[in-house]
């Protein structure tokens, strides 16, 4: 049984930890103090558990903030065993390597193409979650929405700020590439986004159109050359083809 002075000291310690915004440590310390068998564990192990609880609490809070900002279509997406299904015709080994996020550290791009309903968006979101778990800043956006937001930013005289924010993201995922109109203004807008990230930050482009057909999506071929040179360079991008079974039927 602990004496009164020990209980007072424990209460003061918990209060001070909370005042210093270390509620994770306070909770773990309080739990140990209420555990009659706590002394069976070495002090070093008990202290490590207290620190780990604080670290995990802060990690989870930051992860959830980043996840909310990412605006993923599938926020709970994960790299699961379905990538090994032969019917999906996926390069599972490359997907697992990509999920380690070294390519993001290198500022390389990833192009995901393939048939409708093959799971391209889900996989891109799963890779986004992998990046978020590494505490990377991420944003997922459909191509049409990106074009609309760029237009609105220009009307509000916030264009430079918007493009600047996109350029600072560790990973930008543009989905449904090709399902948007790329007139001269939009070609210019897309170039600004791509150029601002080129060689420094990673971009995932998701499209149902083969890469070889992307050039024809641009109304202005000068911008087509400029954009594609930056996102499809074999030395600076990886590719995943998804032409297996429809995931909507599974």
| pLDDT at position 247 | 82
| pLDDT at position 181 | 84
φ and ψ at residue 114, rounded to 5 degrees: 150, -175
Per-residue pLDDT of 85-123, as tens digits, reads 999 999 999 999 999 999 999 999 999 999 999 999 999
Q: How many domains does the chain have?
A: 2
Write out the DSSP string of 138-153: EEEEEHHHHHHHHHHH
Question: What tokens were used for 96?
Answer: 């697992």
The CA-based dihedral angle spanning residues 232, 131, 140, 114, taken in that order and rounded to the nearest 10 degrees? 50
Can you give the CATH number for the domain in which 236 is found? 3.40.50.300
Residue 45 half-sphere exposure, CB side, CA atoms within 13 Å? 5
Q: Which domain holds residue 104?
A: 71-249
**Strand residues in the chain grouped as ranges (E):** 109-114, 138-142, 171-175, 202-207, 237-242
For residue 122, count CB atoms less than 10 angstroms from its CB and return exposed for 0-12, middle for 13-18, buried for 19 or more. middle
Strand pairing partners for 239? 111
- Find tokens 């083969």 and name the residue: 210
Residue 142 CA to residue 168 CA, distance in Å, equals 18
| pLDDT at position 234 | 83
Is 109 found in the same domain as 53?
Answer: no
The CA-based dihedral angle spanning residues 241, 234, 94, 142, taken in that order and rounded to the nearest 10 degrees? -50
How many residues are recorded in the chain? Answer: 250
Is 96 found in the same domain as 49?
Answer: no
Question: What tokens were used for 114?
Answer: 């393939």
- Determine the 3-state secondary structure of 73 from DSSP: coil
Is 186 found in the same domain as 62?
Answer: no
Is 201 found in the same domain as 80?
Answer: yes
pLDDT tens for the chain, residues 1 to 250: 455 566 888 889 989 999 999 999 999 999 998 988 988 999 999 999 999 999 999 999 999 999 999 999 999 999 999 999 999 999 999 999 999 999 999 999 999 999 999 999 999 999 999 999 999 999 999 999 999 999 999 999 999 999 999 999 999 999 999 998 899 999 999 999 999 999 899 999 999 999 999 999 999 889 999 999 999 988 899 999 999 888 876 5
- Helices of type H across the chain: 4-19, 23-33, 43-70, 92-98, 102-105, 120-133, 143-155, 159-168, 184-197, 221-231
Residue 35 CA to residue 41 CA, distance in Å, equals 11
Is 211 found in the same domain as 121?
Answer: yes
Is 75 found in the same domain as 16?
Answer: no
- Determine the 3-state secondary structure of 128 from DSSP: helix
Longest dimension (CA), the chain: 81
| pLDDT at position 10 | 87
Using the 3D structure, point to which of 69, 85, 114 is the last residue of a domain: 69
φ and ψ at residue 125, rounded to 5 degrees: -70, -35
């Amino acid at each position: 049984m602990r004496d009164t002075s020990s209980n007072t000291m424990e209460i003061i310690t918990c209060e001070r930890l909370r005042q210093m915004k270390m509620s994770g440590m306070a909770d773990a310390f309080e739990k140990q103090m209420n555990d009659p068998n706590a002394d069976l564990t070495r002090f070093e192990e008990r202290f490590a558990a207290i620190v780990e609880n604080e670290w995990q609490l802060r990690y989870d809070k930051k992860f959830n903030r980043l996840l909310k900002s990412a605006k993923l279509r599938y926020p709970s997406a994960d790299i699961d065993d379905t990538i090994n299904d032969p019917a999906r015709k996926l390069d599972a080994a490359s997907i697992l390597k990509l999920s380690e996020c070294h390519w993001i550290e290198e500022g390389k791009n990833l192009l995901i193409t393939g048939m409708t309903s093959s799971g391209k968006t889900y996989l891109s979101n799963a890779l986004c979650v992998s990046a978020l778990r590494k505490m990377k800043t991420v944003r997922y956006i459909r191509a049409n929405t990106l074009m609309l937001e760029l237009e609105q930013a220009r009307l509000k005289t916030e264009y430079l700020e918007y493009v600047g924010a996109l350029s600072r993201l560790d990973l930008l995922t543009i989905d449904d590439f090709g399902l948007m109109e790329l007139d001269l203004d939009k070609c210019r807008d897309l170039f600004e986004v791509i150029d601002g990230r080129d060689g420094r930050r990673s971009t995932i482009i998701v499209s149902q159109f083969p890469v070889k057909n992307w050039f024809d999506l641009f109304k202005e071929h000068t911008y087509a050359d400029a954009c594609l040179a930056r996102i499809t360079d074999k030395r600076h991008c990886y590719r995943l083809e998804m032409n297996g079974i429809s995931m909507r039927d599974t």
